[in-house]
Structure 1
């Protein structure tokens, strides 16, 4: 007959040791918490016993450290945004256009284009004004002839052949003016005003007080409107073209400075070579009829584009010349 030895009762140390072994076994076999989207996986091996909350906090701290290091880099601030690039491009274009506008060749091209536009507009306005007066001239030239009679038909050609002759003179002066050679011969000027005077007279005569059966101011104004516009265009166009020919595209223009001569007894006194050239130019303008024989200093200043002192010197020089 066998006897069994009694099982010893576990001590508290044995119980603590067993619980520790069970805890290590559970920690080693527990599944790792998945990393959520947007979270940074913590660096290094997870410490045994960490919960999911601790691991998420560790990932958040690691992400904050990385963001703090990246925020110290100013490279993103130095990159131009699309709006900044657009503004810089516009500013650069404006600066280049301004520099181009100061170029003498560009200024000459702009002046030539504007002069061409003005000449074209003036000639079209002149042609329309003369066309407007055709009916009035036809009524004057027909002199009550029956409609569709030879006299009535030929009366329609009076204004066109006068207008063509006038346009020949005005066109020649305009073209030469654009080439820097103003044509201001007194005979041509008288021819222009002769044709314009005839057109004005033939339009206005049948509608003048005492001639018209039923006089009205509005009818008279309507019939003289075309000739008046033609006179204005013919008078203004040469002056405009002369101003264009005197443009200084290099930007060196301005009033002529005061000049003084050493000999006060000289006819061109208190002058220099520039004023001597102004005197010669004034004599040329007088010969062509653009200036009167004895122009005033103010008229000389406007025509020669010089200072008032030089204009007075030129006036005095012209008065002393034979």
Structure 2
């Protein structure tokens, strides 16, 4: 078993020599240069020397200036859209039709057409009313005859020949009334009332209370239903000559405006000035607007609102001035 030999402690001279050798070693080594800190990343620059963000902001500002300049121009508002042109066309057509309707020849043509329509409708109503009463007259004229017997068949002819005779009288009076020559004959009037009275009587007689057969009860509705046709015929024969006489007395040269003395509507401008606008004042307003434009107080193409505020005039006058100035610029 070996015994470890203790290491002698260095002496002060040994420490001094060690430090001197370490200094010589460090002095012989080349100096170390510290690396510079990394530079921040450069922003992307366009070819013109501006970044994309600056260029984008510059374009946005330029666009805003252009929009601010153009939004005061009312020229787009003066253009007619498809809907406005459609309405203007319809209004123009309505005005032309109204003007044409005031022409005496057109008024006479309209009256003649309406008169023909009324006469045709009245004659159709009269024919249908007489045809309606044919069944009632046949029931009265047959007087209980067996079906398809000679009396029963000839009973169907009673109403038609009376109706044809009545239509001859009524048709003649109606036609001559349309020609301005109404027939005022008491004889024809009595003939009309005779035929109509016979028709009403023959339709109503079997259904009157004292004519109802035994075992049946009186029915007011049946009576009214059977006299309806003759009553309509009486109404048509009475009313048609009166209507045609009124058409004959029409004066097609008179208009509603002349009859009623109507005047055109007036309009008071919505202005703050105490003086009402006259017809010659828009010209003076145009001159004042030109002066304000030359002085720089109004833009070259001012809107109606700006003109109204600057001149303190009515909005209608402001629109007239705006349109006049725009027409001058476009001329």
Give TM class, smaller chain. 0.5 to 0.7
Residue 228 of structure 1: aligned partner: 231
Match of 2:80 in 1: 80
**Are the structure 2 counterparts of residues 59 and 128 from structure 1 closer, same or farther at C-alpha, using a change threshold of 3 Å?**
closer
Structure 2 counterpart of 1:170:
170
Which residues of structure 1 form unaligned runs of 5+?
1-30, 35-45, 256-322
Assess, with a 3 A threshold, how the Cα gap between structure 1 residues 144 and 56 changes in structure 2: closer, same or farther.
Answer: closer
- Asked whether the 8 Å contact 2:133–2:199 carries over to 1, the reply is yes
Match of 1:218 in 2: 221
1:200 paired residue number: 200
- For residues 88-127 of structure 1, the C-alpha deviation after alignment (integer angstroms, 9 at most, x for no partner) is 2232222222222222122222211221121111111111
Question: CA 1:64/1:155 → structure 2, altered by over 3 Å: closer, same or farther?
Answer: closer
Find the counterpart in structure 2 of residue 238 from structure 1. 241
Aligned length: 214
**1:159 maps to what in 2?**
159
SS at match of 2:210: coil
Q: Mind listing any 5+ residue stretches in structure 2 that lack a counterpart?
A: 1-43, 260-331
Per the alignment, do residues 216 and 100 of structure 1 end up closer, same or farther by CA in structure 2, a change over 3 Å counting? same
Higher Cα Rg, which structure: 2
Q: Please name the residue that 2:100 is paired with.
A: 100
How far off its partner does 1:157 sit? 0.6
| TM-score, normalising length: structure 2 | 0.58
Match of residue 247 from structure 1: 250
**In 1: Cα distance, 2:243 partner to 2:158 partner:** 30
- SS of residue matched to 1:189: helix
Judge which range, 208-217 or 187-196, deviates more: 208-217
CA distance in 2, matches of 1:86, 1:166: 54
Please tell me the root mean square deviation across aligned C-alpha atoms, in Å: 2.7
Give the alignment's TM-score, normalised by structure 1: 0.60
**C-alpha distance in 1, partners of 2:200/2:171?**
20
Q: What is the CA–CA distance in structure 2 between the aligned matches of 1:107 and 1:149, rounded to whole Å?
A: 57
What are the residue-to-residue correspondences of 1:90-169 with 2, within 5 Å? 90-169=90-169
Distance in 2, matches of 1:113 and 1:93, equals 22
Between the aligned partners of 2:163 and 2:143, the Cα distance in structure 1 is 20
Given candidates 46, 55, 61, the residue that maps to 1:33 is 46
More relative contact order, 1 or 2 (CA 8 Å, 6+ apart): 2
The list of structure 1 runs, each at least 4 consecutive aligned residues, that deviate by more than 6 angstroms after superposition, is 252-255
* Matched position secondary structure for 1:210: helix
Alpha-carbon distance between aligned partners in 1 of 2:54 and 2:114, rounded to the nearest angstrom: 81
- How far apart are 1:66 and its partner, in Å? 4.3
